């Protein structure tokens, strides 16, 4: 391949710094080398590195090993539920977890901005809230318990036509800081509806709040209720065990077979976690992740589709594509996906694991496990090569204890006698507290040591699953982007995660 540096760890450290410093470091061939092992270095503006010691962790319970992390709302806007008026799933006798949800105590328990009490039109003698700005209530600890599931119900309408208002269950650390997770529903109607958000409390459950925000017309809220609900199920029936290679001793903990007609937004976000969960790119990639039919489900397959568009982006970025990030998180286990790669020079799909927010609210990078990256720049990186690796700290080796003869340990790719964009393949990784083993179509490719740590050496948060299709950048796009090949899709038959049985 290219005559570039060989030390993985050193490469990672250098590349990380280079990405932060942008064009100032590296040069020539080294740019591509550095990029190869560092696909997910977030931009400095985007990565909210929070380094407070975890010793100050709130009294949050550790999530169960197979923690259900998510909501089960009907398909709607991104990470959202917007069901029409419906009875709550929870039984009516379940304890109310919010205070003053019908404003009988005036504005008590709510932090408000341009919000006034008005007469209720639904409850005789009652009060409603007319919101021009926002109303927020911290969810009093320990109302939410990590790993348990809840339903937020909000009876609301827009006072006039205009931009949708936003209802959120969100988490931030500390209060007033950037959001670290948000489940939202959009109020779109001038008629009252009951909007619903189902979610599973994350490890940092004590940081939760309910927020009601107008984005134009005033938002009228009659009632807000937060109730415990039955656990949100994270698994569904496995459609086929063909082409699956699960090691003995593992149980299914999370999966999506993509059997429906649209992406299950209760399981997946479509942006990176960074930037308050809104980041739409990493590195110097040329695409922006969007929801313009970039995540389509048909015939049992999810297609993450990249296409060329004409945009008004001042940076001249004219590609849109898709990414899925699981709301479900876990540490360790076996992760497997059956995929078909896109064709075309300049494309860069990947299946990888990155740290979610830790129980103490911290978020940092690394760690990162790249189960696969299929980079096709047409010259150094070709269609018969599949990259796989981990991101380690500079002075923490990830030593290989097993290597397939067809795996190049200098550049961390498997060299196949076929092209990966010409058929379906199953790629998996077994991840333990000390090692990562990669599998390709059931064939063991390598085992290497690995510690899932933040840069400060502490244990990182649980991992979320990522599958994405990037376009361009100094690695995949080093020799251009074949616009004529677009649109192209990373096709995903299924994604499954297993936890080790005790
Ligand atoms: Ca499928």
Distance 495 CA to ligand 1 centre (A): 9
Distance 426 CA to ligand 1 centre (A): 12
Kindly give the pairing relationship between strand 127-138 and strand 443-449.
unpaired
Distance 148 CA to ligand 1 centre (A): 28
Q: How many helices (H) and strands (E) would you count in the chain? A: 4, 27
Distance 76 CA to ligand 1 centre (A): 21
Distance 66 CA to ligand 1 centre (A): 22
Distance 239 CA to ligand 1 centre (A): 7
Distance 407 CA to ligand 1 centre (A): 29
The pLDDT of residue 394 is: 82
**Is the backbone peptide bond immediately before 479 cis, with ω within 30 degrees of 0?**
no
Kindly give the pairing relationship between strand 368-373 and strand 407-408.
unpaired
CA 294 to CA 467: how far, in whole Å? Answer: 13
The pLDDT of residue 276 is: 85
Looking from the CA of 311 toward its CB, the CA atoms found within 13 Å total 17
304 contact partners, CB below 8 Å, separation of at least 6? 294, 295, 321, 322, 323, 324, 349, 467, 468, 469, 489, 490, 492
Which of helix, strand or coil describes residue 54? helix
Copy the structure tokens of residue 54: 């975890």
Angle formed by the axes of helices 8-21 and 29-36, to 10°? 110
Copy the structure tokens of residue 156: 């609301």
Distance 301 CA to ligand 1 centre (A): 5
The pLDDT of residue 361 is: 86
Distance 103 CA to ligand 1 centre (A): 47
Say which DSSP state 376 is in. B
Distance 340 CA to ligand 1 centre (A): 12
The per-residue DSSP string of 322-341 comes to -EEEEEEEESSEEEEEEEE-
3-state secondary structure 269-315: ECCECHHHHCECCCCCCCEEECCCCCEEEECCEEEEEEEECCCCCCC
Structural Rg of the chain based on CA atoms: 23
Residue 285's Cβ-count burial label (10 Å; 0-12, 13-18, 19+) is: buried
The per-residue DSSP string of 131-181 comes to EEEEEEEE--TTSS-TT-EEEEEEEEEESSSSSPEEEEEEEESSTTS-EEE
User: Taking the model in full, what pTM does it have?
Assistant: 0.79
Distance 209 CA to ligand 1 centre (A): 36
CA 471 to CA 376: how far, in whole Å? Answer: 10
Distance 55 CA to ligand 1 centre (A): 43
Bridge partners, residue 437, by sequence:
430, 447
Domains and CATH numbers, the chain: 111-228 (2.60.120.260), 234-500 (2.60.120.200)
CA 148 to CA 365: how far, in whole Å? Answer: 27
CA 2 to CA 239: how far, in whole Å? Answer: 41
The pLDDT of residue 74 is: 36
Averaged pLDDT, groups of 10, the chain, 502 residues long: 28 29 27 32 30 29 33 35 44 81 98 98 96 96 91 98 96 79 94 96 92 98 97 95 97 98 94 92 95 97 96 82 97 98 98 94 94 96 97 89 98 98 98 98 98 94 98 96 97 98 95
Distance 264 CA to ligand 1 centre (A): 13
Distance 155 CA to ligand 1 centre (A): 36
The pLDDT of residue 173 is: 75
Cβ 330 vs Cβ 64: under 8 Å: no
∠ CA 53-50-201 to the nearest 5 degrees? 90
The backbone region for 327, taken as left when phi is positive above 0, alpha when psi lies in -120 to 50, beta otherwise, is alpha
CA 469 to CA 9: how far, in whole Å? Answer: 25
Distance 204 CA to ligand 1 centre (A): 32
Which of helix, strand or coil describes residue 420? helix
Distance 257 CA to ligand 1 centre (A): 4
């Amino acid at each position: 391949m290219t005559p570039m540096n060989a030390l993985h760890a050193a490469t990672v450290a250098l590349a990380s710094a280079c990405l932060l410093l942008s064009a100032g470091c590296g040069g020539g061939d080294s740019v591509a080398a550095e990029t190869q092992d560092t696909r997910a270095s977030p931009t400095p503006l985007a990565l909210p590195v929070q380094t407070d010691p975890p010793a100050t962790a709130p009294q949050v319970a550790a999530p169960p090993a197979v923690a259900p992390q998510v909501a089960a709302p009907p398909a709607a806007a991104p990470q959202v539920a917007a069901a029409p008026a419906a009875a709550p799933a929870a039984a009516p006798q379940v304890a109310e977890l919010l205070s003053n949800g019908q404003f009988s105590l005036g504005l008590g328990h709510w932090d408000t901005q341009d919000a006034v009490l008005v007469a209720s039109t639904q409850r005789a003698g009652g009060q409603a809230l007319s919101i021009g700005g926002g109303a927020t209530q911290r969810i009093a600890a320990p109302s939410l318990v990590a790993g348990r599931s809840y339903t937020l119900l909000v009876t609301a309408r827009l006072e006039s036509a205009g931009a949708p208002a936003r209802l959120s269950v969100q988490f931030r650390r500390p209060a007033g800081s950037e959001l670290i997770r948000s489940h939202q529903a959009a109020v779109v109607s001038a008629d009252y509806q009951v909007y619903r958000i189902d979610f599973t409390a994350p490890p940092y459950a004590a940081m939760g709040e309910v927020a009601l925000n107008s984005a134009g017309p005033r938002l009228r809220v009659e009632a807000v209720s937060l109730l415990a609900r039955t656990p949100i199920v994270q698994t569904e029936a496995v459609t086929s065990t063909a082409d699956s290679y699960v090691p003995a001793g593992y149980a299914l903990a999370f999966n999506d077979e993509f059997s429906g007609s649209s992406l299950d937004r209760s399981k997946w976000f479509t942006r990176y976690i960074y930037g308050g969960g809104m980041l739409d790119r990493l590195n110097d990639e040329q695409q922006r992740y969007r929801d313009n039919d970039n995540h389509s489900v048909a015939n049992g397959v999810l297609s993450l589709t990249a296409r060329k568009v004409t945009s008004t982006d001042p940076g001249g970025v004219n590609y849109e594509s898709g990414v899925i990030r699981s709301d479900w998180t876990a540490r360790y286990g076996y992760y497997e996906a059956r995929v078909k790669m896109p064709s075309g020079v300049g494309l860069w799909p990947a299946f990888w694991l990155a740290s979610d927010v830790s129980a103490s609210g911290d978020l940092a990078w690394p760690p990162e496990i790249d189960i696969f990256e299929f980079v096709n720049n047409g010259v150094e990186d070709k269609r018969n090569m599949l990259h796989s690796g981990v991101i380690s700290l500079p002075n923490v080796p990830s030593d290989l204890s097993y290597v397939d003869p067809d795996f190049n340990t200098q550049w961390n790719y498997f060299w196949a006698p076929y092209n990966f964009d010409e058929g379906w393949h199953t790629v998996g990784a077994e991840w333990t507290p000390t090692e990562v083993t990669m599998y390709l179509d059931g064939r063991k490719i390598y085992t290497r040591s690995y510690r899932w740590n933040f840069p400060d050496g502490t244990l990182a948060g649980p991992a979320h699953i990522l599958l994405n299709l990037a376009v361009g950048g100094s690695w995949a796009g080093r020799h251009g982007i074949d616009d004529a090949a677009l649109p192209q899709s990373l096709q995903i038959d299924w994604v499954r995660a297993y936890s080790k049985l005790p």
